[in-house]
Structure 1
Amino acid sequence: MEIFSARRDMGSLAVIENLRPIGLINRDIFMSQMSKPFHRELYDKKSCIAFMDKEPLIVDADESIETLAFRTVEAGEKALVDGFIVTRGGRFAGVGSGLELVSAVAEMQAEKNRQIMQSIEYASVIQRAMLRASDEALAMHLPGAALQWEPRDVVGGDFYHFAAFPHGWFGAIADCTGHGVPGAFMTLLASASLSQALEQMGPRDPAALLSAVNRNVKGLLGQVNSAPGEARSNDGLDTAFLWFDTRENVLHFAGARIALHILRPDAAEFETLAADRMGVGYVDSHADYAWNLHSVAVPPGSLLFICTDGLTDQIGGPRSISFGRRRALDVIREHRAEPAAALCERLRLTLADWQTLQPRRDDVTFFCVRL
C-alpha cells in the first residue's frame, strides 16, 4: 500500500523472489480489496502473494514489439489491463504497461502506413507516366475525344491506350482484375503485353491483338499448361480494342466483355457492338480463343462511347441500385449536340449525383469521341 500510495502512476507491481518474478499485483484490484471492512486487519501481516496474479505475462526484453503484441493478444484482456513483466536472462527488469504497448504499436503502424502510402503515391506517378503517351495522342490526333479515368484508390486497375498511325488511330479501354495496388500491377503487365503485340502485329486487326495479349498474359501469369487448380493466378482483364480507318471511315472492333456503343448522326438510339463473353487471361479463358471482329462503316459526326463496369455497377440513387448502362447512354443521347468533353463532364456529374453518400465500388473509366 505504501508503494501504490507513493506512486499514483503505477498500475501494477511485480512480486520478486531471488531476483526472479513470480507474480503481478494489479493496483485497482488490490486497493479495492484493502478498502473493504476489516480487510487491513486480516491481511496486513500476510504475504503479498495472497493478492498477486500467479500467471502473469512474462516477456524477454529482447522480444520485438510485434511479438510482444501477439503474445499480449493471446494472453487476453488481463495482460492489457495489468501489464506484463519484462525480464533479462530470467531476472526481473521491469513492468510494461498495456496502454504504452498499444501506443507503441499504434505509432509503429502509423509509420508503416506512412511508408506504404508514400510507396503507393509514387506508384501513382509511375502509372500516370505510363498513360501519358496516350494522353498526348488523344490531345494531338483526336481533338474531338474525351476520356475520364478515376481510380477508386490512389492507383487503379483500369488503363487505356491510344496511338495514331498512318491512315487511322488505335484505342483500347481495359479493366484489369482488382483495384488499388493489385489492379495497378495488372495494368502494367497488360499494357506491356498490348504494346508488344502492337509493335509485332500493327493496329489494324483488334481481334488478333486480343488473342495475342491473351496468350501473353496467360503465359506471364502461369495459366498455360497448368493442371486444374494449380495455376497461381486467376487474373486477367476485360477490354475493348478498336481501330478506326480514317481513309474509309470504317471502324474495326473486338471486345472482351466490354461493348462499344455508336450513335450515328441520323439515329435516335445507340447501336451496340456486343463484346465476346470471354475475358483476356484468367484460368478459364482458352489460350487459342479467337475473338470476333466487327467492322462497320461509321459516318462523320458519329459518337462512340466505351466504359468499364465501374460506371455501370456503381450503387446509388433513391433505391440504392446500379447506375446502369441505359442511364449512361441516355445522358449522352440527350445532349448529343455538345462536344465530347462536355458529354463526359455531364456523365461524371450525373454519376456523382447518383452515388451521393455511397462508397465508390470500383475504378471508373469512360471514353467518348465524335468522329
Structure 2
Amino acid sequence: MNVIKILKPAIYCMNQLKFVFKFLIICFIFTLPLSILGWALVLEVNNSISTSKNELKGLNILKETYQILFTVAEFRDYSMLQRINLSEDFENEIDNKKKVITKFLSEYTTKIKKSSISSPAIEKQIYELIDLWLILSATGAGVQGAPEIQFTYYDKIVQKIELLAHLISYESKLAYDPELSNFFLIKLLLEDIQTLNRDFGKLRSYGSFALASPTIDSYTYTLLENIYEELLKTTSSVKINLLYTNRLNVDITLKEYIENIIIKSDNSLDFFYDKVIEGEVSNKKLTWQAFFQYTSKHINLIEEFSFAILPTIEHKLRTKIKTQQTKLLIFISLSTFLYLFVTYLIIGMYYSLKSATDDFLDKAGEIAKGNLDVQIKKHSRDELSYIIKAFNNMAQQLKGKQEKLIHRTLELNREKQFIVSVMDTQNNMVITQDNLEIKTANKAFFDFFKVSNVAEFNTKVTDNIATLFKNQELEGYNAELNEKTWVNYINERKDTLHKKTIEIDGQQYVFSIFIDKFTFQDEKLFTIVFSDITELEQIRNTIELINKNIKDSIRYASLIQNSIIPSPSDYQHFVKDSFVFWQPKDIVGGDIYIFDTIRSNDECLFMVIDCTGHGVPGAFVTMLVKAIERQIIANISMNNQQVKVSEIFSAFNKELKKILKQGDNNSTVLSNVGFDGGIVYYNKNKKIIKYSGSNTSLFYIKDNKLNIIKGDKESIGYKSSDVNFKFQEYSIDTRGGMTLYITSDGYLDQNGGEKLFPFGKTRFKNIIKENHDKPLQQQKDVFVSEFNAYKGDEEQTDDITLLAIKFTD
C-alpha cells in the first residue's frame, strides 16, 4: 500500500494524458539521461585524446631539452680543465661549445614560447636559465678552488635544465600518464637518467681533472675515492630501477640499452678505479684525453638510451590516440543506430497498444450490457495478452465464483489449524494480538504462565502483558493504550534489540521481543515472539566484568610504566630548555625515553627507544630494556674509561639476545623482539655530545643550520640482529649552543592528509627549520598541533616519542 501511495501522483498525471503523450514523455525521460551520459562519455574521450596530444607536444619539447642537457653537461665536464689546460686550441674548443649552446638556447626559448604547453613557471625557469648561462659563459678561465667547487659551479646550468624537463613533463601531463610502462619510462627519464648523467659526468670531469694535473695531492686523491664510493651506491640504486623497467612491456631495443648501460656502468667504475685511483699509486697513468674519451662513450650510450625512450613513448601515445578516436567513432555510430531503432520500436508499440485498447473498450461495453459470451481476439504475445485472456475467462468464471469462495474459506480454516500446530512446536513464546488484547498463544506461552487458555491468562495473570515488564521500558514507551501501544512502539523499531524482564514465582527471566504486523480477515494483528535470553544475559554480564578487570590491570601497568619515565626536573642540571612529546598508541606502549647521570654531575645519557610492537607486549619490552640499561649504567659507573655510546648499543644487543634466547636464529624460541633508537651522551664540562643511532636519525640545529645524522641500519636484539655489528659514533661540539631532536618512527610514519600518506621526514624537517628559534615548549605545541592536524580522524598508527634538548654555553 505504501508503494501505491508513493505512485499516486505519477498515476494521476498519466491518467490525464492520452497514449500518444504518454509515449512522448516516456521517450523524453529515457532519452534525456542517455543523451547526457553519451555526451559526457564523448567529452571524456575527447579530453583523453586532447591530453594525449598535449603529452606529444611535451614529448617533442622534451627531446630538445635533453639534447641541450647532454650538450651542456659535456661542456660542464670539459670546462673543469680550463685552469690546468691553457692551450689556445683548448680555449678555442671551449668558445665553440659556448657558441653552440648559446644558439641552442636561443632556438629552444623561441620554440617553447610558441608552444601551447608554455606556462609562467616554465617561462620563469627559461629566463633564469638564460641569465645563468650568460653569467657562466662569460667566465673566461674557469673557477678557482677544488674540483668539487668547479663542478658545482658549472653544474648549476645542468640542474636548471633538469628542473625545466620536470616542469615540461608536469605541464604536459607526461608525468601523470596512466599507462604503466609510459609512467616508468618517464620516471626513468626524469630521475635515473639525470642521475646517471650527473654521476658519470662527475666521474668524467673529476677523473680528467686529476689526470690532467701534474700531480694528485692527498685531498684530491681522497676526493676521488669518495666519488668512487658515492657512485657505487647511486649506480646500485639506479640499476634496480633499470632492471624493474626492463621487466615491463618495453621493446627489445630498450631492453638491450638497459643491459648495456648496466654493463658499461660497472666497466666505467672499474676503469676509473684502475686507471685513475690505482693508476696514481702504481704510476701507470693514462692521458686525460683518453680517459675523457672512454667515459664519454658511456655517457653517449646514456644519451642514446634517452633518445630511444622518447620515440617509444611517442609511439604508444599515438597508438592510444588512434584507439580512442576509433572507439569514439564506434560509440557515436552505435548510439545513433540504437536511438533510431528504439524510436522505431516505440512507435510500433504505441500502435499495437492502441489497437488492443480500442477492441477492449468495445467488448467491455458488451459485458456491461449482460453479454458474458463475448471474447476478445488476441493482438500480441506480451503482458496485454494475459489481460485479454483474463477478460475472456471472466465471464465464464462469474457463475462459479460463489462455490470457489466457499472452497477458499475451508482452505483458510485448514491453514489456520496448521499455523496453530506449528506455533505449539516452538520453544519460544508466540502470541497474536491486536493493539491491546491477546487473540491466540502457543503451548510454550501457556506452560510458562501455567494457564490453559487466553481467557484464564487474562483473569489470573493480567489482561495486558506489558504490565509484567520490570521497569525496563524505553524512553517514551507507554504500556497503556494511548496514541501508540507497546506493540506499535516495538514494531516501528525493528533494528533495535528489545529486552524485557518478567518475574514468575520470584525468578526473573529476560526475553528479547520481536514483533511483526500482518492482516487477517481485514483485521490488523501483531505476531509477538518472546525468546528466552536469560542465560545469554548472564554470560554477557560475566564477560563485561572480565573486560573491566583487564582494563583496570592495563591502567595500573600504565602507572608503572610512567614511573620509569624521567621528568624535566631530573635533567634540569644539564639542560634548561627541553620538551618530550610521549604518546603511546594504547594505554601503555612500546616507546620509552630514558635519562641517567654517569659517575658525576658532568656526564649523562639520554635515550629514545622504540621497542617491538605497542600496547602490553611493547610495554613489557620497555621494562626489560630499562632493566638492561640500569645494568649497563652500573658497569660504566664502576670504571673511568671513556664513554662510547656505540658500545652501549652493542651491550644492549648482546644482553637482549641473551636474555630472550634469540641468538643464533634459535628456531625453538618463538619470540623475536628488539628495538630501534638513539643514544646521546653529554659531557657538560667538555661541552660535547656523542651519538649513535639504530635506524634512528639525529636532527640538530647548530649555527642556525639543520644537520642530520642518520643512524645505522641495524636493529637491536632481534634474531636477525648481528651481535658483532659495530655501530657508528658521532661527536658534536656544543659550544656556541645547539638544539637536538630525536623521534621514534611513530611520528614520521603516521598516516594522514588527503592521500593518507605517512607524515614523513620532509614535513618534520620543515617544522624544525621554521620554528627552531622559538622556545622549545612553543615548538612542542607546534609539533603536536601539526601532528594532530595531519592525522585528522585517522587512528594513531604507532607509539610516539619526540625528544628535544637545547644545549647552551
The TM-score normalised by the length of structure 1 is 0.72
Whether 1:299 and 2:675 are equivalent positions in the alignment is no
Q: Equivalent residue for 2:551?
A: 117
Find the residue that maps to 1:281 and give its secondary structure: coil
Deviates more, 1:276-285 or 1:238-247: 238-247
Q: Equivalent residue for 1:104?
A: 538
Cα pair 1:156 1:184 within 8 Å, conserved:
yes
1:266 CA drift (Å): 3.7
Find the residue that maps to 1:365 and give its secondary structure: strand
Q: Equivalent residue for 2:708?
A: 272
2:577 is aligned, of 137, 144, 148, to 144
User: Aligned partners of 2:588, 2:555: CA distance in 1, in Å?
Assistant: 8
Cα pair 1:141 1:164 within 8 Å, conserved:
no
Q: Equivalent residue for 2:755?
A: 319
Q: Equivalent residue for 2:670?
A: 232
Q: Equivalent residue for 1:335?
A: 771
User: Aligned partners of 1:255, 1:285: CA distance in 2, in Å?
Assistant: 14
Change (3 A) 1:49 1:147: closer
Cα pair 1:264 1:301 within 8 Å, conserved:
yes
Find the residue that maps to 1:128 and give its secondary structure: helix
Change (3 A) 1:40 1:186: same
1:38 is aligned, of 370, 395, 414, to 414
> In the TM superposition, what are the counterparts of 1:171-210 in structure 2 within 5 Å?
171-202=606-637, 204-210=643-649
1:36 CA drift (Å): 6.1
1:158-217 CA-to-partner distances (Å, cap 9, x unmatched) read 001112343232100000011110010010001111111111124821111111111111
1:103 CA drift (Å): 2.2
Q: Equivalent pairs: percent with the same residue?
A: 24
Find the residue that maps to 2:533 and give its secondary structure: helix
| Aligned residue identity for 1:306 | I
| Aligned residue identity for 2:800 | V
Find the residue that maps to 1:319 and give its secondary structure: coil
Q: Equivalent residue for 1:159?
A: 592
1:137 CA drift (Å): 1.7
1:287 CA drift (Å): 1.9
1:240-265 CA-to-partner distances (Å, cap 9, x unmatched) read 01102222322211111111111112
| Aligned residue identity for 1:195 | R
User: Aligned partners of 2:732, 2:663: CA distance in 1, in Å?
Assistant: 34
Unaligned regions of 5+ residues in structure 1, if any? 1-34, 54-93
1:289 CA drift (Å): 2.0
| Aligned residue identity for 2:662 | Q
Cα pair 1:138 1:145 within 8 Å, conserved:
no
Cα pair 1:264 1:299 within 8 Å, conserved:
no
Change (3 A) 1:128 1:100: same
Cα pair 2:568 2:578 within 8 Å, conserved:
no
1:330-358 CA-to-partner distances (Å, cap 9, x unmatched) read 11211111111211221011101111101
| Aligned residue identity for 1:347 | F
1:51-107 CA-to-partner distances (Å, cap 9, x unmatched) read 479xxxxxxxxxxxxxxxxxxxxxxxxxxxxxxxxxxxxxxxx9x966334322321
> In the TM superposition, what are the counterparts of 1:273-288 in structure 2 within 5 Å?
273-288=709-724
User: Aligned partners of 2:532, 2:723: CA distance in 1, in Å?
Assistant: 56
User: Aligned partners of 2:418, 2:554: CA distance in 1, in Å?
Assistant: 64
Deviates more, 1:248-257 or 1:272-281: 248-257
User: Aligned partners of 1:291, 1:257: CA distance in 2, in Å?
Assistant: 11
User: Aligned partners of 1:223, 1:262: CA distance in 2, in Å?
Assistant: 35
User: Aligned partners of 1:39, 1:160: CA distance in 2, in Å?
Assistant: 76
Q: Equivalent residue for 1:244?
A: 682
Cα pair 1:313 1:323 within 8 Å, conserved:
yes
| Aligned residue identity for 1:147 | V
More strand by share: 1
Q: Equivalent residue for 1:217?
A: 656
Bigger Rg, structure 1 or 2 = 2
Deviates more, 1:246-255 or 1:292-301: 292-301
Unaligned regions of 5+ residues in structure 2, if any? 1-410, 428-508, 512-530
User: Aligned partners of 1:271, 1:43: CA distance in 2, in Å?
Assistant: 83
Cα pair 2:574 2:684 within 8 Å, conserved:
no
1:42 CA drift (Å): 6.9
Q: Equivalent residue for 1:169?
A: 604
Question: What is the total number of aligned residue pairs between the two structures?
Answer: 291
Change (3 A) 1:122 1:49: closer
Q: Which has the higher contact order (CA 8 A, sep 6+)?
A: 1
RMSD of aligned C-alpha atoms?
A: 2.7
User: Aligned partners of 1:178, 1:186: CA distance in 2, in Å?
Assistant: 9
Q: Equivalent residue for 1:59?
A: none
| Aligned residue identity for 1:117 | K
User: Aligned partners of 1:243, 1:280: CA distance in 2, in Å?
Assistant: 18
Cα pair 1:249 1:300 within 8 Å, conserved:
no
More helix by share: 2
